[in-house]
């Protein structure tokens, strides 16, 4: 059980790190391709999916850590 939980935590941590690195602080994906990066814009498309997926993965990681500490 603890081996499976450790494997799940490793996978979640790698996925979360990847999503965080893909987001890039202060520069949206649109500014990468020549858009205006200094103006406020709502998250759209892939940026919104990355944002929501980051929140979900971080919550899942915290839950798995709490479960592993309790066991």
Residues in Cβ contact with 71 at an 8 Å cutoff, skipping those fewer than 6 apart: 1, 2, 5
pTM here is 0.72
Dump pLDDT digits (tens) for 39-67. 666 778 888 899 999 999 999 999 999 99
In angstroms, rounded to a whole number, what is the distance separating the alpha carbons of residues 51 and 44? Answer: 10
Confidence bin at 16 (pLDDT 50/70/90): very high
């Amino acid at each position: 059980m603890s081996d499976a939980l450790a494997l799940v935590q490793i996978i979640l941590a790698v996925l979360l790190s990847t999503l965080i690195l893909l987001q890039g602080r202060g520069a949206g994906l649109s500014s990468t391709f020549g858009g205006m990066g200094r103006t406020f814009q709502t998250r759209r498309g892939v940026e919104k999916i990355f944002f929501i997926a980051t929140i979900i993965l971080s919550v899942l990681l915290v839950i798995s850590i709490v479960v592993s500490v309790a066991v």
